[in-house]
Amino acid sequence: MPGEVEVRGGGRGSREPAAVPREAVVRGGPARGRSRTEVAVLGATGVVGQRLVRMLDGHPLFCLAEVVGSERRAGHRYGEAVKWSIGGDPPPGAAGLVLGEARGLPARPEARTPGRGPSLRDPVRQGSAPSLRSPVVVSALPSTVAAETEVALAGAGHVVCTNASPHRMRPDTPLIVPEVNPGAIEGVAAQPWAGAGGALVANPNCVVAGLALACAPIERAFGIEAATVVTLQAVSGAGLTGLGAVEITGNVIPAIKGEEEKIGPELNKVLGTRIEVSVAVNRVPVLDGHTAHVFLKLGSRAAPGDVARVLEDFRPPAAARALPTLPARPLVLRPEPDRPQPRLDADAEAGMAVSIGRIRAAPPPHDIAFAVVAHNGIRGAAGACLANAELYAAHHNLHAQTRRTGGAVKRAQPAGGQRT
């Protein structure tokens, strides 16, 4: 039945109604009388997963129906199992859901023990039918688990929007920032699981999410030949257990494993460019909000005022303007000489805006320099992932499809009438 979640956990494994959350976090709130598409959150107990759960509370298009976490927490109600770390409490509609496992997917869900939730102890097989009911899956899984799990879900006909890194640079996986390259969503039609109605869409690294938004208007107006980027990255980007207090308090760590290698390739994939990117990353004792100092060599001459006007005038394309999670103006220019700052600016537009300041001329070989601040957990992770799910839903008329088919996703003509 719609609205029911079947989960594992002894006496806790009863069917629980998926309650409609009370508060709207995104524009609009749930539309009265409108059917909403059910969504599962993978990695729901981590920092990014918690933000996804909160952002789905009262969402006008989606309804949180399933939450999946670690094996040791499976079978417990989400409100009891999660160590809530982002302020306030878990949304009431999510707190009563029973947590399924997130270590793999059952190869044969029809053989699942009654009352048992999605489990990862069973082998993952590409093309197998996992036991999730929700047609849309937003994934905050660790990369090691996401690599196989997300492909299995897409192969089983789910629309998977992932924050994890393993599939970002796959040639057939769209890497999307909706305000920058929404047309990349058409790439799902060429994916091997498209015939089953599945899709896999990725958002970029938490630094690139903000960097791409800041660079896109500049690249389109003047061209960018090379970029040097120095990041100051918040501790929340390392996860709940990523760094100990002794390691980071009063300290700067001038390396983050695997981070520098991602930024250049992902930025170029989002922008559709071949910019030469040099990167140095640092972990700093800031809770939320990544800062990046950016130095650009431009393709054509531009003064700081020219760059500022291009950024100030930027508006999202039509495909992004309708998405409820995205702000109408995703770029915020700060004129103050000491802004942006993570403490003051990371939460701009509910964490979904990118703040830019200190726009100035730079000495050769660069032409322009500026500072960028973006909320790594929202703009750079949960919000980016959810916005991609909204983009897919809008482009493929997903809500109309799920009402007609009772939850199954079938490929249809996208909004606008052209086949993807």
Catalytic residue numbers, as ranges: 206, 290
HEC assignment per residue over the chain: CCCEECCCCHHHCCCEECCCCCCCCCCCCCCCCCCCEEEEEECCCCHHHHHHHHHHCCCCCEEEEEEEECHHHCCCEHHHHCCCCCCCCCCHHHHCCECEECCCCCCCHHHCCCCCCCCCCCCCCCCCCCCCCCCEEEECCCHHHHHHHHHHHHHCCCEEEECCCCCCCCCCCCECCCCCCHHHHHHHHHCCCHHHCCEEEECCCHHHHHHHHHHHHHHHHHCEEEEEEEEEECHHHHCCCCCCHHHHCCCCECCCCCCHHHHHHHHHHHHCCCCEEEEEEEECCCCCCEEEEEEEEECCCCCHHHHHHHHHHCCCCHHHHCCCCCCCCCEEEECCCCCCCHHHHCCCCCCCCEEEEEEEECCCCCCEEEEEEECCCHHHHHHHHHHHHHHHHHHCCHHHHHHHHCCCCCCCCCCCCCCC
Count the neighbouring beta carbons within 10 Å of the beta carbon of residue 359.
21
